[in-house]
Amino acid sequence: MKLFLCALSLLSTYSRVLGRPHNPILPGFHPDPSCIFVSEWDSTFFCASSSFNAFPGIPIHASQDLQTWRLIGNALSRPEQLPNLTNAVGGTSGIWAPTLRYHNNEFFILTTLVFDKMPIDDPARWDNIILRTKNPYTVNAWSDPVHFPFVGYDTSPFWSEDGTVYVQGAHPWQVSPHIDQMQLDLDTGEATKQVPIWNGTGGLAPEGPHVHFKDGYYYLIIAEGGTGLNHMVTAARSRNINGPFTPAPNNPLLTNANTSSYCGQSRSPHVQGRETVLTNMTWNKDEWPVFENVSGTIGGPTLPLRPSIRGNGPYTTAPDHLTFPPNSPLPIHLTHWRLPTTSAYAISPPGYPDTLRLLPSLLNLTGFDANSAETGQTFVGRRQVHSEFVFSVDFVGGYVPGEEEEEAGGDGNHHIDFGIVCLKDSKNKDNKPSGPAPQSSQQSCASSTFLRIRTTSTTATTPRPDTLVSLPSSSNPSTTHPQTTTRLEIRADNLTHYVFSYARFSSSGGMRIAGYGLTEDVSWGFTGTLLGVYATGNGRNASTPVYVSRWRYEGVRQVTSR
């Protein structure tokens, strides 16, 4: 899988005709980019990104100047396209490294649904699929998947001159590190036996293969070295699609090792996760491609600025001012973790116009075993796409948890919870439910309501104690009374800490700081940070609805160097 901290996409067609965008071009949780230039579609660049367990999955962005990017849709937009996503247990499971291509007036995506907790030598661990569409701008544009047999991941198609489709992919490196190839029927999923074509240069995990035909050579460009500071791009070429492939004499062509450049230092991995960056590349006839080191600002000639892109999604770094009006859909940039329980969400339900209603799930964001979510988790969020930002939501309708450990709040994934919670028995502070528990009595929680900041993180070097702030109930639970609103806010003023604040509009004063969280505690895995709202019974069968409104996200600053 193209799993590297600062992800790079090869745009060979426009290798020296770049504009002057700033990196990252797709900030935040946008790893493993696959980008293409399609002249037939108004000279537009399209990029697809990995989504792992997030749903909707495989976001598709478009740009005409390499500076202004807009989300135009999600290739996985319907639960029935991939119902097994719910079974992709573990934070490193789900959709890995899609490859986006355009051929004969049609867009194609090949990708792998990975069940990363299954044995490495079990073929069922890898579910490779084909998605296609003739118009990526339409609602629910992409087809249901066609499955095909490939033991491995990062599958990528290449069309030969006679129309044969060859697919390259990464064989599981823990078993035998190399790149495999097969022939594939994109209509039926029928394939020939996969055979090895290159072992790479000896770096960890040869993966992310793509073939480019140029000057009579088939160039095989791959990733090696893992997902972090040892990541590198290497290449080999052959006169025959089946090899043998001769490595480039100057491998690696690009590396993140032993550098203080953009990827290695200035974009802290504690902040926004794995992002998409862009760099210049020169590729002369009969020679090997030459990459420039990745930097915050991309030099070279300038493409004309075309800031208006068609589509209904937001621009990448645009603010959120969401009010959830009646009869409106959930915005396409909002995401769940695995497939949502649709009945848990409603926009502008009766009596609560301009709100998003959430019903609490049995599980919290950790789940029973920190990996799976068999009964679903009530969570909806958006990507953090700025180094510094302010995110806030209003909880309206006089929300008071109805049961012990019933909770609603805002969240940063992997994960710091900032919620309103009933703690009649404050001894129960474990974030891991032990299993379904009997409902507690109907005793009021009004006098036992707290704000709680709670961290669950395998990367935390020391235990993080909970922060509790008493939050007396509003005296007037009317749904229309302004004093019934509680505003929760998450703010990043630097690269190391989140600030959690609140305002209870039944009292005087503005926002008050409840506590802090460390950005390093949400730095883990192959994804990035999500900001959103959740509702949970923390292992109990809770039922109190939660109504949120005035969803706001404002970017403050993007840190690209220090």
| pLDDT in the model for residue 12 | 37
Alpha carbons 103 and 111: distance in angstroms, whole number: 17
| pLDDT in the model for residue 431 | 46
Torsion of CA 439, 442, 443, 448, to 10 degrees: 60
| pLDDT in the model for residue 521 | 85
| pLDDT in the model for residue 87 | 84
Looking up tokens 């009595």 gives 441
Alpha carbons 426 and 536: distance in angstroms, whole number: 17
Q: How many CB atoms lie within 10 A of CB 340?
A: 21
Q: Where are the domains of the chain?
A: 6-291, 321-430+437-557
- Specify the 3-state DSSP secondary structure of 483: helix
Give the chain's residues under pLDDT 50: 1-19, 264-265, 270, 427-443, 474-483, 562
Element (H, E) at 197: strand 195-198
Alpha carbons 219 and 180: distance in angstroms, whole number: 15
| pLDDT in the model for residue 425 | 58
| pLDDT in the model for residue 398 | 73
| pLDDT in the model for residue 402 | 76
Which residues have CB under 8 Å from 284's CB, separation 6+?
none
* Assigned CATH class of 6-291: mainly beta
| pLDDT in the model for residue 461 | 79
| pLDDT in the model for residue 445 | 74
Which fold is adopted by the domain 321-430+437-557?
A: Jelly Rolls (2.60.120)
Alpha carbons 15 and 154: distance in angstroms, whole number: 23
What are the structure tokens assigned to 10, written together?
């090869």
| pLDDT in the model for residue 368 | 66
| pLDDT in the model for residue 20 | 62
Q: How many CB atoms lie within 10 A of CB 281?
A: 20
Alpha carbons 405 and 403: distance in angstroms, whole number: 6
* Amino acid, res. 326: P
Looking up tokens 């290739």 gives 75
What are the structure tokens assigned to 388, written together?
């510094």
| pLDDT in the model for residue 218 | 98
Maximum pairwise Cα distance, the chain: 78
